[in-house]
Every structure is written in structure tokens, then in C-alpha cells.
């Protein structure tokens, strides 16, 4: 009973985070802000939804598989996002806003 | 109780597809496809318990592996492609 309520809450919170990240990835103005919104679904939504489902599975083979999926996703999705942002930056795509130290930094001499 | 999470994930997949269709640069599209793949893994994990079929978890595991490798392969291709083609354009402009 308590496990059911906890898993229900985790799934609801995970659904909210996934939806917020999806909305952000559609509505954000820039590639890097979109990557930020996508990273929200990749980390928080994945943790919440998979642990909510794993509470239903309990200590079984399905629970072990869910834990493996969670560990693998947490390992690979930041790597993929990093590689993506790195490739975009090297290809010449710059963020919409200049860096915060742009006023104090003498950028024209560079 | 799985229906709410399933519907949220499906709506997010639709939003990611919209970004993949709209995306101005190719990196936006790759980001959206990466997000779509991650959401597919989550959807498979939820649908496993919605329908009570534990075989779907193996599919989710395989999809997580393939998604990562696929995104890296597409990035490599795009990088080589963008390294090759602007050079030829510039060389055409110079000559």
C-alpha cells in the first residue's frame, strides 16, 4: 500500500518533469538552452520514472533489469549531451547571449 | 496509475518530434532524436508494467544501447560532413 502510493507519486513527479523538459525543448530559443531542457528529462525524469516503476517490480529479475537500464542511461545520456554540445560548439554554433563577463572582458583584442 | 506517466511520455515524444521537424540546425534535430530515444526507453519500461509483460524490459535495454551508439555515429558523420563541405565552398569562392 505504502509502496503503491510512493510509486504513484514518483511516476507523477517523473511525468511532470518529463513533460516540462519536453515543453522546454520545444519552446527554448537557443540550441544550448534546449540541451539544458533535454538534460532535465534525461536525468530527473529518468530517475523518477524508473525508480517509480522499480518500486513495483521489487527485488526480482525485472528490478535488476530496471536498475541496469537506469545505470546505463545515467552513464550515457550526459555523455551524449556533452558530445552534442561539444560538436555544436566546434562547428561554430554560438550561444544566443554573450558570456557574463563580456562587458568587463576586452573581447575585441582577441 | 501508469496511464498518467504513459501519456506524459507520449506527449513529450510528440514535442520532441516537433522540435526535430522544426530544428533550425542539425544539432537541434540530433538532440531531439536523442531525447526521443530516451523517452522510448522510459515508455517501454512503463508499458512493461502497464501490460504486465516483462519481455519489454529487454527491448528497453537494447534500445538504450542502440540509441547511444546511434547518436554518437550521427554526430561523427555530421562532424566529418561539416568539416568537408565548407572547405570546398571556400575553395570554390577563392578560385
Segment A92-109, tens digit of pLDDT: 778 877 777 655 555 444
Range of the domain at A38: 2-94
Distance from CA of B44 to the nearest CA of A (A): 11
Contact between chains at A50 and B5 (C-beta distance less than 8 A): no
- SS3 at position A94: coil
Percentage of residues in chain A with pLDDT exceeding 70?
91
Does residue A61 belong to any structural domain of this protein?
Answer: yes
Long-range contacts of A56-64 (CB under 8 A, 24+ apart): A56/A3, A56/A4, A56/A7, A56/B49, A57/B49, A61/B54, A62/B48, A62/B54, A62/B57
Mean pLDDT across B31-38: 92
B-chain residue closest to A60, CA distance = B54
A25 has a pLDDT exceeding 70: yes
CA A54 to chain centre: 19
Asked if B74 has any chain A CB less than 8 Å from its own CB, the reply is no
CA distance B13 to B25: 19
Q: How many domains does chain A fold into? A: 1
pLDDT exceeds 80 at position A71: yes
Summarised one tens digit per residue, pLDDT across range B55-90 is: 889 999 999 999 999 988 988 888 777 666 655 555
Which residues in chain B have Cβ-Cβ distances shorter than 8 Å to A91? 27, 78-79, 82
The answer to whether position A32 is within a domain reads: yes
Domain boundaries, chain B: 2-94
What is the reported pTM? 0.83
In a domain, A110, yes or no: no
Q: How many CB atoms lie within 10 A of CB B59?
A: 16
Residue A42 scores a pLDDT above 50? yes
What is the residue-averaged pLDDT of chain A? 85
| The pLDDT of residue B95 is above 70 | no
Amino acid at each position: 500500500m505504502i509502496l503503491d502510493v510512493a510509486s504513484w507519486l514518483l511516476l507523477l513527479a517523473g511525468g511532470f518533469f518529463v513533460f516540462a523538459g519536453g515543453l522546454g525543448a520545444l519552446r527554448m530559443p537557443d540550441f544550448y538552452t534546449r540541451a539544458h531542457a533535454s538534460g532535465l528529462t534525461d536525468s530527473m525524469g529518468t530517475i523518477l520514472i524508473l525508480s517509480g516503476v522499480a518500486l513495483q517490480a521489487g527485488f526480482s529479475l525485472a528490478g535488476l533489469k530496471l536498475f541496469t537500464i537506469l545505470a546505463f542511461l545515467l552513464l550515457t545520456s550526459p555523455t551524449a549531451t556533452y558530445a552534442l554540445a561539444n560538436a555544436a560548439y566546434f562547428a561554430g554554433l554560438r550561444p544566443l547571449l554573450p558570456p557574463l563577463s563580456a562587458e568587463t572582458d576586452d573581447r575585441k583584442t582577441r | 496509475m501508469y496511464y498518467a506517466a504513459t501519456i506524459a511520455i507520449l506527449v513529450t515524444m510528440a514535442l520532441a518530434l516537433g522540435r526535430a521537424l522544426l530544428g533550425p540546425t542539425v544539432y537541434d534535430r540530433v538532440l531531439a532524436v536523442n531525447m526521443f530515444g530516451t523517452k522510448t526507453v522510459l515508455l517501454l519500461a512503463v508499458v512493461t508494467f502497464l501490460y504486465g509483460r516483462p519481455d519489454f524490459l529487454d527491448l528497453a535495454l537494447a534500445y538504450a544501447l542502440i540509441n547511444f551508439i546511434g547518436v554518437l555515429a550521427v554526430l561523427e558523420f555530421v562532424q566529418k560532413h561539416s568539416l568537408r563541405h565548407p572547405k570546398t565552398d571556400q575553395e570554390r569562392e577563392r578560385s
